[in-house]
């Protein structure tokens, strides 16, 4: 994105960060193709640079996969996108990380509102020890939605979008912890979708699931593509190849290669990428 | 996983290299059989086709196994895909060698039509093309593969010349009609072998450079 485009994107939300400060602001979809952009973006844990000056542009409403060996910084980079790293003592970003042209580490950003726009699904399904209904309605209730009809609609729509509705529609009042692992993960996805985020971050969302439940999540990613910008961190390279439009390969904190998934898995540009995806190292 | 896949690829490499050697050998024998009007050698070529067919099936099975069990990517994927396609071309070249051998059997029983067409030169050029395409594959050498593609037009032109010469001879010496038609068939089969050698060269370029150069003369 050039300077003019950045200014335009910034102006759209008014003063820098203003779009995250008002809950009544209309949802704005990215209209310039780039949803998330990093500019010499680093993340430090104390003095250790876990993500090293990464420059990348993540396209709107596509699926972007981040792959790389353990400790390469992929999850750290993912968690930086909705500032989950803020919760880690000693963790410090540098450089810029832009969401629709606005620096999410800017001084005026409301992190809660930011996370409303950028939802997250974690490796381990983590439903609240509440009913299935309350899990999905939790976010909308926090947003101030009280009308039962509206909540019913949101819960149904979110569960349908997470391909879980048919399995739970007759037992919405039951405790979510009684669901299977795969169902719990889809419930977490429904919970994330209920607050209508623009971006979904997924941190190894199927690593704890069996192949059938994994296939369901992968199918869902395919269905959600086009409506959400999805960024998925995965250890499973075949999964990255199956579900993503673009793939980023990270190694020791650096972005080694980033581009079209089909190209990266057939003819990568960098030998380091080739060696990793063909299992010759890492 | 990489070690398992590497073992499969090593096995595949061994099988397809053997098939390359067998196919190159039957083409050489078929050409010699035509040149020396050697019916026995021609029949040997025909009998060896089963070996080519069997090995082609084995190579294909090994490719499918590697794809299904290891889901290879990048160079491993391109290598296996190239093997699958080259395997197919090798089998077809084997069939064309049999076709040439069948013409050799017929020609060995006919009087020489004494045509001016330089059949040995064309055969030599096609054999060089085939050898180079296989060398390019074995040594993963894209430069040699590009040379192969450049040779194909020359073979096409020789085939066209052969057709013209055969036509003229049919008019001037119609008593040699059958032999001339058989010679023309040999030329056509050689030209087809050159086409398959070009296919192999294109697959080698894909394997090394990741570019599909088929139907795209400007990339060659």
Q: Where are the domains of chain A?
A: 3-15+33-277
What integer pLDDT is reported at residue A18 of this predicted model? 46
- Say if the Cβ atoms of B75 and A274 lie within 8 Å: yes
Q: Is B72 touching A (CB cutoff 8 A)?
A: yes
Q: Do B73 and A280 touch (CB under 8 A)?
A: no
Q: Does B47 touch chain A (CB under 8 A)?
A: no
Q: Which ranges constitute the DSSP H helices of A177-270?
A: 181-194, 211-224, 237-243, 261-266
Do you know the residue count of chain B? 220
More confident residue, B27 or B116: B27
Q: Are A50 and A44 in contact (CB under 8 A)?
A: yes
Give CA–CA dist A154/B187, Å, rounded: 74
Question: Interior CA angle at B104 toward B103 and B106, to 5°?
Answer: 65
> Domains in chain B and their CATH numbers?
2-219 (1.20.58.220)
C-beta atoms of A266 and B1 within 8 A: no
Average pLDDT for B32-39: 94
| pTM of the predicted structure, to 2 decimals | 0.81
Nearest Cα of chain B lies from the Cα of A270 at a distance, in angstroms, of 11
pLDDT digits (tens, 9 = 90+) for B136-180: 999 999 999 999 999 999 999 999 999 999 999 999 989 999 999
Q: How many angstroms separate the CA atoms of A111 and A177, rounded?
A: 28
Judged by a CB distance cut-off of 8 A, whether residue A67 touches chain B is no
Closest among B210, B73, B218 to B142, alpha carbons compared: B210
pLDDT, averaged across chain B: 92
Residues of chain B with pLDDT > 70: what percent? 97
Query: What is the ipTM metric for this complex?
Result: 0.75
- Residue A163 to residue B106: CA distance in whole angstroms: 70
Whether the pLDDT of residue A8 is over 80: the answer is no
pLDDT beyond 70 at B216: no
CATH 3.40.50.300 for domain A3-15+33-277, yes or no, is yes
């Amino acid at each position: 994105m050039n300077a003019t485009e950045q200014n335009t994107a910034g102006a759209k939300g008014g003063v820098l960060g203003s779009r995250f400060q008002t809950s009544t602001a209309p949802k704005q979809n990215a209209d310039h193709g780039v949803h998330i952009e990093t500019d010499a973006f680093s993340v430090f844990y104390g003095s250790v640079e876990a993500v090293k000056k990464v420059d990348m542009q993540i396209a709107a409403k596509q699926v972007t996969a981040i792959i790389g060996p353990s400790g390469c910084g992929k999850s750290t980079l993912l968690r930086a996108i909705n500032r989950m790293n803020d919760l880690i003592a000693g963790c410090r970003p540098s450089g810029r990380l832009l969401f629709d042209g606005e620096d999410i580490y800017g001084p005026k950003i409301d992190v809660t509102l930011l996370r409303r726009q950028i939802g997250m699904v974690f490796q381990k399904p983590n439903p609240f020890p509440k009913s299935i209904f309350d899990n999905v309605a939790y976010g909308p209730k926090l947003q101030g939605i009280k009308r039962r009809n509206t909540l019913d609609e949101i819960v149904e729509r979110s569960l349908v979008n997470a391909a879980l509705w048919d399995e739970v529609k007759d037992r919405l009042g039951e405790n979510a912890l009684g669901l299977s692992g795969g169902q719990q993960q889809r419930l977490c996805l429904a919970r994330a979708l209920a607050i209508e985020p623009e971006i979904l971050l997924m941190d190894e969302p199927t690593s704890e699931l069996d192949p059938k439940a994994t296939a369901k999540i992968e199918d869902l990613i395919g269905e959600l593509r086009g409506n959400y910008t999805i960024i998925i961190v995965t250890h499973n390279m075949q999964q990255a190849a199956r579900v993503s439009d673009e793939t980023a390969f990270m190694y020791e904190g650096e972005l080694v290669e980033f581009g079209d998934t089909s190209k990266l898995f057939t003819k990568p540009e960098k030998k380091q990428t080739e060696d990793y995806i063909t299992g010759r190292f890492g | 996983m990489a070690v398992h896949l590497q073992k499969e690829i090593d096995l595949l490499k061994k099988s397809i290299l053997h098939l390359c050697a067998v196919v190159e050998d039957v083409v050489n024998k078929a050409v010699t059989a035509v040149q020396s009007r050697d019916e026995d050698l021609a029949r040997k070529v025909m009998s060896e086709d089963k070996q080519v067919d069997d090995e082609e099936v084995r190579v294909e099975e090994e490719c499918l196994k590697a794809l299904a069990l290891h889901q290879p990517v990048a160079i491993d994927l391109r290598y296996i895909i190239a093997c699958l396609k080259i395997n197919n071309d090798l089998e077809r070249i084997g069939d064309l060698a049999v076709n040439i051998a069948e013409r050799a059997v017929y020609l060995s029983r006919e009087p020489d039509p004494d045509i001016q067409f330089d059949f040995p030169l064309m055969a030599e050029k096609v054999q060089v093309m085939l050898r180079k395409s296989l060398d390019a594959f074995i040594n993963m050498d894209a430069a040699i593969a590009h040379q192969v593609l450049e040779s194909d037009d020359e073979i096409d032109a020789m085939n066209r010349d052969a057709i013209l010469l055969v036509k003229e001879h049919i008019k001037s010496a119609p008593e040699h009609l059958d032999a001339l038609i058989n010679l023309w068939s040999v030329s056509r089969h050689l030209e087809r072998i050159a086409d398959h050698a070009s296919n192999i060269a294109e697959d080698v370029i894909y394997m090394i450079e990741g570019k599909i150069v088929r139907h795209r003369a400007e990339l060659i």
